[in-house]
Amino acid sequence: MVFRLWLRPRQAGAPLDVRRPACGAGWRLRSALRWGRLVVAALVLAGGCERLDEFTGTWEGALSPDPRLQHGFSAEDRLTLEIAALDAADVDMSVRLPGNPERVRFESIRRAASDALGSMSLPGGPLRSYFGYLRPPGQEAYLVVLTLFAPGQVEARVIRGPDEIYGVFRLSKLP
């Protein structure tokens, strides 16, 4: 599609300079414009890339000190995440909830990543957000919103019910 702007088909067996017009200055200008478009397109594509691989690993953090953001948790509670892999649409992650020694698998809502929710705007300018569920055995499910910030900051919102549990955890990567 984009490459059609720069490439024209050549007849079989024709020498390379057949496509070059007779007027040299016009050809040079068109060639420079084509290369300029290619460079601009490459810069735009490179600028839009998200460095998500730096978020793989183990993350741990405390509950937000704001009492409005810690309903159903105690102030000392900590959350641990193990991020095995992630891309723009999905995250392979397990979570250790406060008071639960077992790791629980994060189940991504994959369609949310393709929706505006995946790139929703929050304070701090996040790179990406993931929505999913944790289903601890014998308990009701938690909704989790995982938000990635540059450079290397992660927030996790753990929610259950309309007013049962709500906690915002700010996490740091463990060495």
Give yes or no for residue 91 having a pLDDT over 50: yes
Given a cut of 90, is residue 5 above it in pLDDT? no
91-96 and 57-63 strand pairing: unpaired
> Do residues 168 and 145 make contact, with C-beta atoms less than 8 angstroms apart?
no
Instruction: Sketch the domain layout of the chain as residue ranges.
Output: 2-47, 53-173
Neighbours of 171 (CB within 10 A): 20
Residue 127: band (very low, low, confident or very high) from pLDDT cuts 50, 70, 90: confident
Which of the listed CATH numbers 3.40.1130, 2.40.160, 2.130.10, 2.30.30 matches domain 53-173? Answer: 2.40.160
- For residue 52, what pLDDT band results from cuts at 50, 70 and 90? confident
**27 pLDDT exceeds 60?**
no
- Whether this prediction's pTM lies above 0.75 is answered by no
At 46 the pLDDT is 35
At 6, give phi and psi (nearest 5°). Answer: -105, -20
Residues linked to residue 129 through DSSP beta bridges, in sequence order: 147
